[in-house]
Structures are given as structure tokens and as C-alpha cells.
Structure 1
């Protein structure tokens, strides 16, 4: 039952997000793998719309944090507030916007380092401690942080150690011209009622997918079989980023620092989830190769030489896939 509900969730999202099928699938994978996502793309490419479509169709609380340089950590996590009444006075914890099921952190690279650290600590620990009291996040909790790759003024790039805490780094590109026309028709249909003056079919309320469907899916994904050769393939891919000289001189010139063990864990979770979405009870190499770019691109530190030559992390990962033997 959970698979059909998750597939329905994916279909509904694709009806609202045209031309970004891969992004929708990655959002679903991140949700089911119980991880947080970093989404990078130019303005107007439906980053915010995608996460809103997920929250709209899922039985979940949604909050948005618009990061700015003057933001404080308490603006994200919450703070103790002093209340005074006739019966006495007390400090009460007022939860910040991080306490929601689905959290959109818009333009996270515009926030100063202390705010980024508070946000990422809450993501990693799934809790916030204020005045000696620990406050836990909801059981269903996912953060999707966005950043603009072209703006540099007034931004604070995330350090590599903090980037490593994201399960996947998703990149969004422009949609094809055919989808551009469909996007115009979709938005026009949402903004204008039908000819008879009634709301369009798209505006009718729909039954939301219950949170239990996500929890059931996670149990099923945990039971997906992964053979020892596939586990070794994942380990070989990650280890190749640490010892690139063993594979090629080109890779050795390009990679300064390889991926951490978090990369192996991310590939494990995401490949199992990808296999489950494809209605298989086992992981094959194609599941690993399908999500390897999203799991590794933010975990590689490229050399100055690679960057000066215009080599991107995706180019490096493509080269890794050609040099690491399939199981």
C-alpha cells in the first residue's frame, strides 16, 4: 500500500512541477531515506515550488526560512520568552520555524556562519537545546536548503564539513522548450478560473498522503537486499575519491580531498530507495549509478588545477564511473 501512496505523491508533484522530473524523484528519495537536501539552481527554476508541492500533498507541517545576513540562530531554532501573569511569571520556549515536518531553508548561503551552524546542528542531531532543555524534532523531518550558484555578493559559502551533512546535492537546470509552454499553461490555469466561473479542477482540495505511508516505506526500504558485491562497489567508488592516483593520473590531478564515510552511507540509503521506487527487492549497479552524482558532488574538494580547467564535480564522477569496475 505504501508504494502506491508514494507513487501517487510523486505523480501529484510532477503535475505541479513540469520539466523537473529528476528533482521530484530526488525529493522523494530524500524524504524516504530520512535525509536533508541541498538544492542548487538559478532563480525561477521551481526550487521553492517543488518543496511546497511535497508539503501540500503530504500530511505534514511546512515552514519556510528566508535566510538573510542579519538573521540570528534563535530566529531559526527558537528561544526562551519571559511571560508574566497574575498567577506568576515563567520562561517558555517558543519554537522556531525549524520545528516542522518539511522545512524550506531558502538561500542558505546568505545566512552568516553562526546561523548556518545552528541550522545544520538541528538537522544532524534532530534536536535543539535551549537553556539546558532539549527539544526534539518531529518524527517526520526533512530540510531542503537552496542556494543560488551565480550570486557571490553578500553570501557566505557553506564549508565543506557542513556540506557533507546533506544527504544529496541536487542541481536544477533550465527545462526544455516544450516544457516551457506547458509551464505557461499550468500557471495560467492556476491563476484563472474556468469559463463557467467555477474554480479549476487543479484548485480542488485533494486528500493528502498520510505520514504513516512514509514510515511504512522506510521499513520496506530497510529490508531491500543489497549483495556484498554491490556494497563493495559503493565502497570502491568512495575509496577511489581518496586514492585517485591508483586509478588514473587525470583523477589524481583533479581531486584534492575525497569523500567521507557519509558518502558510503548516503549511497547505501539512496540506492536502496531507488530500487524500492523501481519496484525491486534488491539493489543493482544501476541504482547506485543513478544517484551517485547527487551523493558525491558536494563531498569532493577539487584541486585548483581542475577548477582552472573548468572541470566540475560531475565530470570527475563520470571519470570515476569509468575507472571503477562494475561488480
Structure 2
């Protein structure tokens, strides 16, 4: 007697073996072309760091938010501002400080006098969070109460002030930065808040030849003009296309197994996870692995999502969701090392699995 396979709720929707529609194929092709033109425009200002640009675009088209960690002076702000210019979106930057209040982010009600009848009314003045792209600079330098105000906006796409709820503009994309060097006087984000960020992106130093090109370009009087490639409406359409992209159960289960392997109490967790990890990635990590893989495929102009697309986003999704223990710290085993070992350990689907 044959039994039908149980449906996987995570992978709900058509399998990648389904014949794509002409409209979907055309949309994916347009997204791949848009990514190429965007990178070309961004490269006029940002020299090198191409993989970082890809990571940011992947998150943007996934409707995810990013945490960017890098030492000062690596053009994090310039990179985000340039992306905002190239896709014709509103951009705001908030410098987080210990005295920043939630209302400094969300906005506040002010009393306004009616010059006609002399009456007074409250008028809401929008805060800097009302932007398409928001750069939260050094988010760990402000107290938890203020951090929570931003994280609520990230999760819900709205802010509530004086009992009234206001929708944020669409698309809405938050990039929060942290300085990995100086930790004195900071308020580290707890694990539950870190989990709200789709990607943890690490900004490295540029290559020597790139650094020379940067020095020459930024010390001249040559002004660079960035052309606008996409607008907000087109971005939202492309975000919907990414979510419609099908994924096979085999690739989806690879993402599930990656996340499960980070959990020390899971039966499939390898020995090094049990030895070095105190807490692993939750279900949101699986969702972001799948969604990130879809976006990675789409911006590359690919219709079919593969294991390679999952692997490309795995370090970005998992590194801030793997909490190592004291033994790992003593032996110099970082979350990045754990993720690298997992990518070598977890078995991807074979060609026969797709038949």
C-alpha cells in the first residue's frame, strides 16, 4: 500500500519542477538585469565590497533588515546612502547615542494653535524612522528602551504614538551598524532582538589595490552622479516576485537541517555543536534561509533555487543566531567557524533526490 507524502508547511507552494510562467521568467530576468545596473551605479562611488552590495540587495528584495558590523571608516554610511540614491528611495540616518529617546526615532505630538479660533490641537510630527531606508548608526550605543522602539517598527512596519498607529512607508529597510572594537558604554542587543535582523553582514578591510583606488578617488574634486535605476513601486513588485519563486522540498529540507544542526539538543546535531554551542538558531532562521536563497537566485536571474543559494546566505543568517559557550571561547571557536563546519557537515540533496 502506498502512502502520500505529508505536505511540508514551510515549503507550501509549487515545487521548483513546476513549469514557470512566461511572466515569472520575464520578471526574474528583469530583476537580474536591475541588479547588474544597480551594482554598476553603486560601483561609481563604492570601490570593491561587491559581495556586501549583493548581500544588501538580497536583504532588500527579501524585505529583511540587516545588522552591519565593521570598524569605522569602511564607508558603511556611504554605501547605504548610494544604494538609496540608485533606487530612488527616501533615506534617513540616526546617530544612536545614550541620551536618544524613543520619540527621537518615531516622532512625537506637538501642540499647535489654530490662528482662526484660538483653539489648540495636537499634531503628529514624524520622526526619522519614516523613511524607505533607515541607517541606525551604532545601535548598541542607545539604551534598550530606544532600541526597542526601532525594533518594533522593523517588525510591524508601524509606530504607535499617543495611542495612534501610523504606517511606515513601503518599502521599509533598516540597516543597523555596530563598531566591533569599542564596547565600553554600549548596550548589546539581546538575542531576541538580534533575531529580528535577517542578515548579520561583516564589513572587512578592502584589498590593497582597492584601497589605493579609494584614496585616489576620494581625494580628487571629481563629482560622481548616481543614476536612478528603480523606484519604490518597482522594488515592491520585485519583492513580491521573490516570494513567489518556488523552492523544492529537498532544498527546503537542506535549510531545515542546517538550522537543526545548530541546536545542541537536536538529534542530528554534530558533536562539535553539542560541545561548543549553548543555543542554536530558531525557526525564523529557516524562514530567512529559504527567503534569502530565493532572493539570491532571483537577483542572479535564476528561476530555480538551489542548495548553493542557501549556502551563500547561510553565514549571514546563522552567525548571529548561534550562541557559543565558554568552551568555544576558550578554544577560539567562533560562530562563523561553527557555520563553516556545518556547511561541510550537513549533507545536501543528491541529484537522484529530485526524481
Given the two structures, how large is their TM-score scaled by the length of structure 2? 0.86
Q: Is the 8 A contact 2:37 2:229 kept in 1?
A: no
CA distance in 2, matches of 1:184, 1:45: 12
Please list, as runs of the form range in 1=range in 2, the aligned pairs for 1:285-300 lying within 5 A after superposition. 285-300=307-322
Q: Does 1:4 align with 2:33?
A: yes
Structure 1 residue aligned with 2:352: none
Structure 1 residues not aligned, in runs of 5+: 194-199
CA distance in 1, matches of 2:210, 2:155: 37
Please give the per-residue CA displacement for 1:180-202, whole angstroms capped at 9, x wherever unaligned: 1111122134xx14xxxxxx5x2
Structure of greater relative contact order (alpha carbons < 8 Å, 6+ residues apart): 2
Please give the per-residue CA displacement for 1:70-96, whole angstroms capped at 9, x wherever unaligned: 111110111111111322210011111
After superposition, the CA RMSD in angstroms is 1.5
- The count of residues paired between Structure 1 and Structure 2 equals 317
Q: Does 1:140 align with 2:176?
A: no
Structure 1 residue 214 displacement after superposition:
1.2
Structure 2 residues not aligned, in runs of 5+: 1-29, 350-355
CA distance in 1, matches of 2:103, 2:303: 44
Match of 1:321 among 343, 351, 354: 343
Structure 1 residue aligned with 2:11: none
Q: Is the 8 A contact 1:240 1:247 kept in 2?
A: yes
Structure 2 residue aligned with 1:225: 246
CA distance in 1, matches of 2:302, 2:246: 9
Q: Is the 8 A contact 2:60 2:173 kept in 1?
A: yes
| Secondary structure of 1:241's aligned partner | coil
Structure 2 residue aligned with 1:36: 65
| Secondary structure of 2:313's aligned partner | helix
Please give the per-residue CA displacement for 1:111-159, whole angstroms capped at 9, x wherever unaligned: 1110001110111111011111100111211000000011111111100
CA distance in 2, matches of 1:65, 1:254: 37
Q: Does 1:235 align with 2:256?
A: yes
